[in-house]
Amino acid sequence: MNMEVTQLEPYILKGSIKVIDRFFSVPVDYAKPDGPHIRIFVRNLIPLESGTDPAAESNLPYLLYLQGGPGFGVDLSFSVDLGTALHKKKYQTLWLDPRGTGLSTPITADIFQTKQMDDEAIAKYLKHFRADNIVRDCETIRHFLLDGKKDPEARKWTIFGQSFGGFCAATYLSFHGDGLKEVFLAGGIPPLVDSPDVVYEALVLKVEERNKVYYSKYPQDVRNVRRILGFLEGNNVVIPNGGNLTVSRWQQLGIQFGSHGGIDRVHQLVFRAITDLDTFGKLSYGLLDSVQNSQSFDTNPIYAVLHEPIYCQGRMASWSAHRVIQKNDRFVWGKVKLMSDDVPIYFTGEMIFPDMFEDYHHLRPLRGAAELLAYDEDWPMLYDKEVLKKNQVKVNAATYYDDMYVNFGLVQQTASVIGNVEQLITNQSFHDGIHKHMDSILTTLFDLSKRERD
């Protein structure tokens, strides 16, 4: 039987928010409940506007936040900011570190080395860290917290999925929808595909579009970026933690093009790199440290290892992004460098490539496991389209027309399948809109929840 491991002593944050840090013990493999267990961390935030009456606190309905990723825990400061807004809607909130992230028995390469696990054992272990088991973890927690309620409706909770958290929400609706009152999504309606090729074919077009915006805004960077890549190609550049700064890794800075201010942040790195080359003939420690800190794969390895498998249902990924990107010469430095110097080389987007498991220091020990997972086709189903068609749980979604991470066209295909979906569609926010335009997006989502018709 799954049970809570520990509940730490509550504390109060500024803004009259009570915090209860909770840990739960769950099986790595739910098919083997007596097998190895891991710990799942969830932070419970409770507004104290009505005083500190325990009965009043326990009667506040739960809203569970599902983080984007895959492979990221929840930042405390963000949970307080968004939580404060959600508490005004008379919820207490739960902030889950999905299995393998944050404080939930985190996955790092050094842990596997300590356990002396080989590539096959690591790959087998990592297969248990997709949306299906994240949802099972959520259900374990829900049953623990709410099964004692007399009213069956009070045993349900509301979830809020950001990005990959929305993918988890669709899995939740597919297999455990009877535990849900309502669903809120921000950039999180998933493509209902069984392999990632369709996703990356659409993504490349949007990334190409964002590259054109970048070079239109900073035309001098056409030659600047080519110069930087020429330097990286001709020199062995090592960043502070021992990783390699290669041509491919520099192109991966384009992942920022899909968020507010991302194009400007990348330009500042280009500007600093060019200044370094002019001044020192090499890249400075400060620049290399800035590049390292802007890329999160070393500290969030699930983001790299499972990024393509999150789309797989009975099919292999086989390094999808790498295959798809080769079809467009503008992303291939080996071809662009032979063109005239006014031809831009394109940055890549949210894509995973085989060479990342050499360039990123803390991904190197996972290279063999990543290769095994890339060619594994034994992936269970994540969605049940027939169940989703019959869905009656209210789904209120913020959808971003210019989203570079979750393609708008694929989102609309899915939205036409899932029952009871209402969307806020906007071209004024990028994928991180809930961070940038929190108040306006939440206001509209809760208005949609009313299902009032004009």
Using DSSP, state whether 309 is helix, strand or coil. helix
The DSSP annotation for 73-108 comes to ---HHHHHHHHHHHHTTT-EEEEEE-TTSTTSS---
| Active-site entry in 132, 221, 298, 403 | 403
Place of tokens 């295909």: 413
> Other C-beta atoms within 10 Å of 131: how many?
25
CA distance 147 to 3: 13
Among 145, 207, 162, residue whose Cα is nearest residue 68: 162
Residue type, 74: V
Q: Which of 79, 104, 163, 429 is catalytic?
A: 163
Per DSSP, 362 falls in state G
Determine contact, residues 158/183, Cβ cutoff 8 Å: yes
Q: Round to whole Å and give the CA distance between 442 and 412.
A: 21
254 near 348, Cβ under 8 Å? Answer: yes
Strand partners, 64: 94, 159
Nearest to 248 by CA among 327, 339, 373, 357: 357
Q: How far apart are the first and last CA of the chain?
A: 49
Contact between 129 and 107 under an 8 Å Cβ cutoff? The reply is yes
Catalytic-residue membership of 163 = yes
Q: How far apart, in whole angstroms, are the C-alpha atoms of residue 260 and residue 205?
A: 19
User: From the candidates 128, 307, 361, 431, which is the catalytic residue?
Assistant: 431
Q: Is the peptide bond before 70 cis (omega within 30 degrees of 0)?
A: yes
431 is catalytic: yes
Q: Which residues of 12-31 are buried (b: 16+ CB within 10 A; e: fewer)?
A: eeeeebbbbebbbbbbbebe
118-to-35, 121, 278, 298, 368 alpha-carbon distances in Å: 19, 5, 46, 20, 9
Radius of gyration of the chain (CA): 23
Q: Which residues are catalytic?
A: 163, 403, 431
